Chain A
Amino acid sequence: MNRLILVTVILSAAVFASPSMSTPESRPLVSGGIYDKPFITNVRGGVRIGGYVDAQFRYEREEGVLDEATFGLERINLFTYTPVSDRVRVAAELEFEEGGEEIKIELAIIDFEIHHALTFRGGIILSPLGRFNLAHDSPANELTDRPLVSTQIIPATLSEPGMGFYGAFYPSSGSRVTYEAYATNGFHAGIIEDSPDGTRFTAGKGNWEDNNARPSFVSRIGVSPMPMAEFGISIHTGPYNEFEVEGLEVDAKRNATLFALDTEIDWRYFRLTGEYARGDIDVPVESAVFQENQQGFYAELSGKFAAGLFSALPGSYFSGVGRFDFVDFDSDTDGDSHRRLTVGINFRPAGDTVFKLDWQRNWSRDAFNIEGNSAAVLFSTASYF
C-alpha cells in the first residue's frame, strides 16, 4: 500500500515534470530549510559550513513555587552543505544538546536533481511532517520554546533513515506546489513501551535499523498560491511494532499514523504560522493504558517594529510575538492535556541574531483532569554563525 502511494507520486511527478509547464524559481523548497540557511562561511571548493547556538536562562514557577532557575546552552548545531556537482548536493547537520551528552545526526543526505520537479534524496532525512519539523532553527524561531504540538505530537526533530523524492511545480507565475515523499524506517515500539506517560511518538524515534522490516511512508505537499503564503498537508504512516519474526507471527501488526496541516503567511510586517497534528495509534487492547488518539495545534503571530531604530545598527529591528499552544495526549478522555500561552518581545541586532524575552503560562491537566499551573520567564539568545 505504502509502496503503491510512493510509486504513484513518483510517476505523477515524472509526468508533470514537462519543461513547458514549469518556470524554475530561486525559492528554496522550504524557507528556512536546509538549503535556505545563512551559511556564513564558504570554504574552498563550495563547501559551506555554518551553524547556530541557542543559549537560555529559564525562571520557572509551578503553583507559585520556584521550580527552576537555570542557565543552559539549549543546543549547538553545525551544518554543512556542498554542491558536489551540478546536480548532486550533500548536506548534513549535527546537533549537540545537554552540554554535549547528546549528539545527534539530524540530517545527512545526498540529493540528486533529475529535474526541479524530481530530485532523489537518500540518507537520514528530515521527515516532511509539518513545516516546523523542516525549519526550526532557534535563530529563526520567534519564541524560545518550540511549539508543543510540533515537539510532543509531531516529535520534532524527527529525522529517519529513508529514501524518496521531492520537487516543485509552478502552475502559474508566483504560485507553487511542492512535494516530498519518502519511504523510511518509521517509528519503533517505544511509542507505547518506552514512555512512562503512555503513548508518546517522541519515544518511538531512533529506528536506525527498521525493527519490523516494513517501511513507513511520509509525505508532505505544500501549496503556495502566492509567494507570501504556504499551506501544507502531510502524513506519516506505517507499522511500528515487531509483528513477524523469521516468518512467524509474534504479534498483531499495529500502525501509527500522524497527520498534519501547517500554514505560514507573511504579510507586510506580520507573520502568521500554525500547525495542527493528529496521531492515531493502534494499541494492544489488553494493556488498556495507552492512548489511541492524540492531537494538538499552535498558532503564532508576530510583527516587526522599530526597524533601524539605532543608527549604529541599521539592520536591527524588534518584534512582538504571541502564541497559543494546545496538545491533548488522549482525545478519548477529559484531561491529559496541556495549554500554553506565550508572549514575547525580541530584538534582532541583525537578521541572523536574536535576543528573546518570553513570558509563558501553562495549564496542564493530568489523566484525572486535575489542573496544574505553571509559568515561566525565559530569556534567550540565538545566532547563526
Chain B
Amino acid sequence: MLLRTLLLSTCLLVLTTACDTLLTETPPAGDDFESPFDDLPPALNAAFLAGDANFERPFSVNDGLGPLFNNVSCAGCHPGDGRGSPEQALFRFSRSATDLALDLGGPQLQDKAIPGIMPEEIPAGVNVSLRLPPPVFGVGLIEAIPEESILANEDPADNDGDGISGRANWVGAAEFVPVTEIGGGPGLQLGRFGRKANVSSLVGQIVGAYHQDMGITSDFRPEEDLNLSGGGSSIGDDVPDPEIPASTVMETVVYVRLLAPPKPGPSTDNVERGRDRFMNSLKCASCHVPMMKTGPNDISALDEVDVHLYSDLLLHDMGPELADNREDGSASGTEWKTAPLWGTRIIEAFLNGQSFFLHDGRATSIHEAIVLHGGEAEASRNAYLALSDEERSTVIDFVKNR
C-alpha cells in the first residue's frame, strides 16, 4: 500500500517536473525589468497588461508610424523595459533653454522617416545632446516621492562644503498634462524624468515619446511633427490624426508606473565591503542617495514605501568631459541627473550581453562610468582611483549587485 502510494507520487512528481521542463519554466522572480509590483488588485493587473501590449506594440507605416520617427515601438528603445543601446540613442537639439529650434525641426532629431519622406538632419548652429534610453521600471516610485523629500537634498550653494551641491530642474509642464497628474499644472514644476530631470510628469514623457519618438499623434498632441527643413517633404502620413486615443496613452502611463524595480542580488563579503566604501570613504552616496520614501499614494505598492534607488534625482555638475553644453529647462550644459543605480545586476541579459552607462552610453563598464565622473564628483572619483585594484573591485561588485 505504502509502496504503491510512494510509486504513484514519484510518478506524479516526475510527470509534473517533466511537464514543466517540456512546457517552459518561469524565470526566477526579479530577474527582469518588466514585472509589475506584487499583489496588485486585479483591475490594476488588467491595466498593466493592456499597457504592456501598448509598450511592446510596433507601429507600421499603415498604423500611423511617422512621418518622422526614431523607432517603431517603446520596447524598440527600452528593450525588456531596460536601458537601450547607443544604436537606439537619440539626439536633442536647440539654440538655448528657451529657443528649442522649432523652426529647424527641434528639439529632437528624427533620423528616420516613412517611405517618401526625408528624415531630418542636425542643422548648423545648434547645441546637441545625445541621450541613451534609460530604463523605465521604477518610474512610478520616482513619481511618488514627495517633492519636499527631493528638495531636502538640494544644496545649491554647497553650504556643507563637501563640494557637492545638487539642485532641482524646474521645468514647465505641457498644457495637455492633467493638473491631477504629479508634475502637471501651470507654472514651473519639479523635473524628475529624463537624463537632466527635464520632464516633470509621466504623461508628459509618454505623450512626448509617442509624438516625437514614433510619430504617433494622440488626443493629447493631435498634430504630426513634420520635416520643416525637408522642402517638399513636409507632409504627414496617410493615417487620420489622432492616431491613438488618450486612453491608450494612459494605459501605457499606468503600465510604466506599475513596473517594479528588480531586487538586488544576494549579499557577499565583497559586496558589503564595497557598500561601505560607496557609502562612506568614497562619498558616492552624497549623490547616489541609497533610499528615499514615497508619500501617501492610492496604489498600495507605491504608498509610503522605501525606494532603494541610489539617486537624489537632482542635477549635478559632472565636469567638462561629460558636458553636452546644451541647456535643458533650468539644467546647464554640464549638469546631469544622478542616474539611479538599480537593475545593474541584469543589464547584460537585455542588451545582447553588453552594458552601457551614462547619459549617452559611452561607458561600457561600471569602472569606466566611475572614471568618467568629474565636476562635483571629481573628489569621489579620485578617491576611487586611489584604491587598489582589489578594493575597487568591491565597489564594482556592490554597484553590480543592485
| Main secondary structure on B side of the interface with A | loop
Binds A, one of B8-16, B56-64, B284-292: B56-64
Q: Given A289-B72, A335-B352, A375-B22, A197–B58 Cβ distance below 8 Å?
A: yes
B57 near A289 (CB under 8 angstroms)? no
Set B24, B58, B79: member contacting A63, Cβ < 8 A: B24
Set B23, B25, B27, B58: member contacting A196, Cβ < 8 A: B58
Q: Which residues of A are found within 8 Å of B352, using beta-carbon distances?
A: 334-335, 368-370
Q: In residues 332-368 of chain B, which contact A (Cβ within 8 Å)?
A: 349-352
Contact string against B for A residues 116-145, beta-carbon threshold 8 Å, 1 for contact and 0 otherwise: 000000000000000000000000000000
Docked complex Cα distance between A65 and B23 (Å):
9
Q: Which residues of A are found within 8 Å of B350, using beta-carbon distances?
A: 368, 370
Set B26, B115, B349, B351: member contacting A64, Cβ < 8 A: B26
B71 near A289 (CB under 8 angstroms)? yes
B26 near A65 (CB under 8 angstroms)? yes
B20 at the interface (CB under 8 A from A): yes
Q: Which residues of B are found within 8 Å of A192, using beta-carbon distances?
A: 61, 115
Q: Which residues of A contact B (CB under 8 A)?
A: 61-65, 189-190, 192-198, 203, 241, 250-251, 284, 286-289, 334-335, 359, 361, 366-370, 373-377
A64 near B58 (CB under 8 angstroms)? no
A370 near B79 (CB under 8 angstroms)? yes
Contact string against A for B residues 64-96, beta-carbon threshold 8 Å, 1 for contact and 0 otherwise: 000000011100100110000100000000000
Q: Which residues of B are found within 8 Å of A62, using beta-carbon distances?
A: 24
CB distance from B274 to the nearest CB of A (A): 29
Set A193, A196, A284: member contacting B57, Cβ < 8 A: A196
Binds A, one of B116-124, B193-201, B250-258, B259-267: B116-124
B113 at the interface (CB under 8 A from A): yes
A367 near B61 (CB under 8 angstroms)? no
List 26 A–B pairs whose Cβ atoms lie within 8 Å, in order of A's numbering. A64-B24, A64-B26, A64-B27, A193-B60, A193-B115, A194-B60, A194-B62, A196-B57, A196-B59, A196-B60, A251-B116, A284-B115, A286-B117, A286-B118, A287-B112, A287-B114, A289-B71, A289-B72, A366-B79, A367-B76, A368-B85, A368-B350, A368-B352, A375-B22, A375-B24, A377-B23
Interface residues on B, range: 20 to 34
Chain A's closest residue to B117 (CB) is A286
Q: Which residues of B contact A (CB under 8 A)?
A: 20, 22-27, 57-63, 71-73, 76, 79-80, 85, 111-119, 349-352
CB distance from A378 to the nearest CB of B (A): 12
CB distance from A191 to the nearest CB of B (A): 11
Q: Given A194-B60, A197-B58, A373-B24, A251–B115 Cβ distance below 8 Å?
A: yes
The 7 lowest CB-CB distance pairs between A and B, nearest first, are A64-B26, A196-B58, A193-B61, A368-B79, A369-B352, A196-B60, A375-B23
CB distance from B86 to the nearest CB of A (A): 13
CB distance from B52 to the nearest CB of A (A): 13
B115 near A287 (CB under 8 angstroms)? yes
Q: Which residues of A are found within 8 Å of B27, using beta-carbon distances?
A: 63-64
